[in-house]
Structure 1
Amino acid sequence: MDVFNLRYMRRIRFSMRSIGAWPDHEFGDHPTTRLSPIRRYGYTTFLFTICSIGMVAQAMYLINNRDTLSFIDSGQTILTFFLCIVYVQRTLLPMQTSYREVIKEFTLSFNLAYYKDKSDYSAKMSNRIDKICEILSTIVHIQIYVGLCFFNAVPLIMNWNNGMFGPDRPANDTFDHSVSYALPFDDQTYFRYTLIVVYNWYVSYNLSCVFCCQDLLIYVIVIHIWGHLKIFEHNLNSFPRPKINMKAGTNLAWFTKEENKDVHNRLKEIIQTYLHIRKFIETTSTAYSKTILVYYGFHTVTDCVLLLECSTMDPKALLKYVPMTIICYQQLIELSVVFELISSKSDGIINSVYDLPWECMDNSNRKTVQILLQIVQESLAVKAGGMVPIGLQTMVAVLKASISYFMMLSAFADG
């Protein structure tokens, strides 16, 4: 089974290849040469460089124009600056060994497509996960292009309405840009304005893909982990009971000697399966721990800025920032809900292990069940930065913090 025959995986690979985030060299036997690092990370380094230059130019623009910038324009530059911080961090992900290992293991062995033949329930769950991932893939890719178009098209429309493209251009007006920079040249000529517009569209596409496609890949991986846990829980719940074999002096059915051998093999397979799932969760946590920590910090700050921009009720601000606000909040909610799926399975698995017919087993198998029960007691929650658990509670805390900052800054501005 080639997982890249799945449509959502083809989409993810295509989009991430376009921003240098897909580790193609991990899937092919390419000979190592002096040019291998350039072939593998050349485009990633290029994206990192141009984004870093853009961040410096944006910071200089804020410093140089801090006394003359309007609230909307300064908020726009602050927002794009923080977007670039997350962009820089995510652009460097392909250089991390843990990131490449997660993608390679997920696509070559962990994807539920490889487990369809295990049982009818596995096939059912695999088809269900494929449909969920396909829907998510479609939604996220629509978000990429909608956000990209709204953010960059609004300044073009404003420039058109102001007559900046006509033969009699207003003398005192200047071109409006989706992202503003401190430049060493005059950007008010048509040619230089066109160069900046093309650059902004290019960078905006990369930003959208880095944010949305990396989030989409996280969603897909975590949903497959959830699918594995559902199959694991089903296997526990459908564990065979002993045939009628009453022990003298009791009303309890016991496993026979032959059945206990089969129980031993089943328990061994269950423990190996659970340890495999947990190990992959740990690998995923290592790969994305810092990424999600930075992401939560980004939302704490920028969600407040987006609310402030929208609260002005300026038509220009609403056209530009309402779609971005919806997408940002949706991404935060989706990320937290998806990770909550893993945390919520812990209690169900513990109960399923305890419900195993351990009372019908021999002493050796009872000890094995006890070991399994101790293993599943450990939380499966993924933590951002190894500290902050990723889930609904953290999402609520981030939303409360950003809304509190918004209320405080709004009161300060009104005063």
Structure 2
Amino acid sequence: MTARQTMHNAFDPASLSEMPAELRSKIERRENVLGPGYRLFYRDPLEIVSGRGAHLFGPDGTDYLDAYNNVPSVGHCHPHVVEAVHRQMQTLNTNTRYVQDSLVSYAERLTATFPDELKEVTFTCSGSEANDLAVRLARRVTGNTGMIVTETAYHGLTIAVSEFSPSLGTASPLGEHVRTIPAPDRLRHIADGDLGAFLAEQVRAAAEDLKEHGYGVAAFIADSIFSSDGVFADPAGFLQPVVEAVHRAGGLYIADEVQPGFGRTGADWWGFRRHGIVPDIVTIGKPMGNGIPIAGAVFQPELTEEFGREVRYFNTFGGNSVSIAAGAAVMDVVETEDLIGNARKQGERLVDELRKITADQDDVLEVRGAGLFIGVDFVTDRESGRPDGARAAAVVNGMRERNVLISAAGKYGNVLKIRPPLVFDDADVDRFLEAFADATKS
């Protein structure tokens, strides 16, 4: 498998003839009308018609345990979110050019979850747009264009953002102004050394190279769980030297919280908090509206003064009334159902039990993660630590056969990506562990 492979768990259209007739017909209709970016998950793709909590249901009533989708963060079709969106659709849906208490109240409530330094939010429709805006601002503030990212990072799909999203694959080339550094894989890179110091040195070297080529450093951007790189969470605090190195190089630190944010890591609303850092900019999205498109960028105000005064930025649907209602309802659910605490509790149990199951399996290097964001690192053998993407894919599809849905990540697709809705409960964990134990025996 190539190092910059994209969809590690995609359906292969060459096997279409092997599908049941009705499913084959539906996939063929899909292929005929949808663009090439629409790929299906799993060796045997599944059809779903409804969802509830951490469960998706097929047309025949088959119950699939969803241990992958972070977009419906508070569970598929959560009634409180559904009711809030329905009510707002019946009342008003417009843009942000009018005085609306709901918009301002949500912005105040949202920014109150951040460190005091981060006080302003601009709403967008997607994380890609949020990261695009963050980089525009970073370039404006620093006067530089260079970007530093980890080697298999994903940050979005706009032209500007895709240029520093290496996980999109070699057919989507990185910009000449982009440098990559290794993922924070302490077992493979530094053994018992100082992970933060290692990464800071990598950033320093990348920054020096960017300077020599006339780009300078506009920003280093990373999600604090390094989800596309293979899920790396520990030790907490290893990002502190990285922030210092970026600032010394004249750049900004952008925390992409689209995936680790909104309580997923089980310690706080935001994953970067585990590292004791204050980013210059934070970008958020996906789980923010539980499936309703809403995202945003949160800034330190002193960075935005000149940009706001001199650059026109308006997003027609960013912060629309319905999306704001969804965002507020999601925050209601996270707070009232203590979903951050649930992510911590269920995540700790999952990690503990997965480690027990894999303790004697030589093909698992490590089980790691934070909260309900967990990775299982598959290798050919522990001594070599050589990534085994084929084994991980076999387990992903083995879980699919047992109606439990996960995916894979990492440079070689060798790390299981376990990222269920935050409402994952005791029964869901039991079912997941049973399926995992069975699938890894195969």
TM-score by length of 1: 0.21
- Greater relative contact order (Cα < 8 A, sep 6+): 2
TM-score (norm 2): 0.20
**If each structure's helix is expressed as a fraction of its own residues, which one has the higher value?**
1
Larger radius of gyration: 1
Judging by fraction of residues, say which structure has more strand. 2
